[in-house]
A and B are shown apart, each in its own frame.
Chain A
Amino acid sequence: MAGKVLEIRAMSASSTPAPGIRSAPVVAKLIDTSACIGCKACEVACQEWNDLPPETTVQIGTYQTMPDTTPSFWNLIKFNEHETDDGAFHWLLRKDQCMHCADPGCLKACPAPGAIVQYNNGIVDFQQDNCIGCGYCIAGCPFNVPKMSRQTKKVYKCTLCVDRVSVGLEPACIKACPTNCLTFGTKEVLLQKAKSRVAQLQTAGFLDAAVYDPPGVSGTGVVSILAFGKNPEAYGLPKDPSVSFAVEIWKGPLKWIGNIAIVGGIIGTFVHYLRFGPKHVPEDDKAKQADAGR
């Protein structure tokens, strides 16, 4: 089983701790949006590597392939058009894909044991075999990434090419990128690279340049460099994403209150039985039951 290569750090709907104890370097993708030329090689590399069927393109008035990612199209370059206050036009290209959050909202929301797992290298992966198609992960995701297939009623998204990464290769999109806009490595190394690139952008006049690694989800495995870092909404990214409060409550305290209610209910009933004995049915009720039974 290849799964032995990567141990599991977190698993959906599991009350027992995940089995992994070995450490592994946390991997990440760095997307330097200022270096993207919108060639879409990453889109095609993703389709080719994952053997996904061709998806019909949709013309929405820009060069964008389609409005949004789909169950069989996990990596979409968004062609955002942005005008700054001085009237200058900027094309803010962004790679829309699973962000591989360190604290994944999808995993927290998922009620199916083992349908969403997080490996010790940080990759968040959906196991469609265990998916029950409830769609809670879609609601739990702050980036609107998981998509449900109409045919299979399962949810799909970018796997960060976990099959390649587990044997030591880079993801398919990273390899294809012809402008070095996409880089792959350990998160530690990439964050250093991101820092120096941001400094470079600031010297070049993009004073708001910043790294997008939102703390609301404890950082992401897909880190972006944004030239207009103070305005991530212009790229279609939420300003301060976090796991929804409802999911936190429901999967945190509420789950345990529920569990205590189940166990407490059974124990309480048993104690009540010990104290008061079996239920005494009045004679006229017995007669009624006999009538109903007849």
Chain B
Amino acid sequence: MTTSRRDFLKVTTIGGVAVSILGFDLTSAYAEVREMKIARTTETRSTCPYCAVGCGIIIHTLGDKSANVKPAIVHIEGDADHPTNRGALCSKGITLKQDVVNDRRLTTVKYRAPGSSEWQEKSWDFAIDRIAHLLKQARDEKLVMADAQGHTVNALTSVGVIGGCTDTNEINYLLVKAFRAGLSIIPLEQQARI
């Protein structure tokens, strides 16, 4: 069997390419690390609104608070300096960005009248006025000034107040002052442990 020069060239070069597949590529390749997406964001400290543990969080917003910047939240993660969680967060707390940046988030007052099945959009003034009126009405009807033995109790037990987990000592002091001392409401509860 004789091999022509052309066949020899074909077999060696094509065969060589086939076994080494691109192994002879001398293109200078380089890699670039992704930029840190929170490198120059504004950091704002806050408290996770979920459970009573009250983990510290840092909210990262676009821009450096310049007058012409409209901030938007780009990332939320744990606050390493917070004594409760020292940076850690649970699977729910770590999703907080989606709590804020979410097209299904309620940003207006929704009102459903008694007996109605429809939600109506209302103003904040409407909501606060209505709460105040109903609270006054309930207090006027149900306030117990004295018990059966005639002791002064000034207790309103038909209304309750629930505080939130992000409430600090100062807010809780004001809650007691406003509702227990001010309106005589006995059932007061909140889950804050911070």
Contact = CB atoms under 8 A, between A and B. Distances in A.
A265 B91 contact: no
A114 B36 CA distance: 21
B24 A15 contact: yes
B87 interface: yes
Contact of B12 (A15, A51, A261): A261
A289 to B, nearest CB: 14
B37 interface: yes
Interface stretch (A2-10, A148-156, A197-205, A209-217): A2-10
Contacts of A268: 8, 12
A41 B88 contact: yes
A169 B12 CA distance: 51
B16 A13 contact: no
A167 B94 CA distance: 21
A178 B30 contact: no
Interface residues of A, number: 62
B89 A15 contact: no
- Taking each of B6, B20, B22, which has the highest tally of chain A beta carbons within 10 Å of its own beta carbon? B20
A172 B36 CA distance: 12
A257 interface: yes
Interface string B53-68: 0000000000000000
A279 B5 contact: yes
A20 to B, nearest CB: 11
Nearest to B90: A41
B16 to A, nearest CB: 3
B20 to A, nearest CB: 3
Given A3-B33, A41-B91, A162-B34, A176 B22 contact: no
Interface in A260-285: 260-266, 268-269, 272-273, 276, 279
B107 interface: no
A41 B33 contact: no
B181 interface: no
B2 interface: no
Contact of B29 (A48, A130, A175): A130
Interface in A42-63: 43-45, 48-49, 51
Interface of A: 1-3, 5-6, 8, 11, 13-16, 39-41, 43-45, 48-49, 51, 111-114, 117, 119, 125, 127, 130, 159, 162-164, 166-167, 169, 172, 175-178, 250-251, 254-266, 268-269, 272-273, 276, 279
19 contacts: A1-B32, A13-B23, A48-B76, A113-B22, A163-B37, A176-B78, A176-B87, A176-B90, A178-B88, A178-B90, A254-B19, A258-B15, A258-B18, A262-B17, A265-B16, A266-B12, A269-B8, A269-B9, A272-B8
User: Which 7 A-B pairs give the minimum distances between C-beta atoms?
Assistant: A265-B12, A114-B29, A258-B20, A262-B16, A261-B16, A258-B19, A113-B29
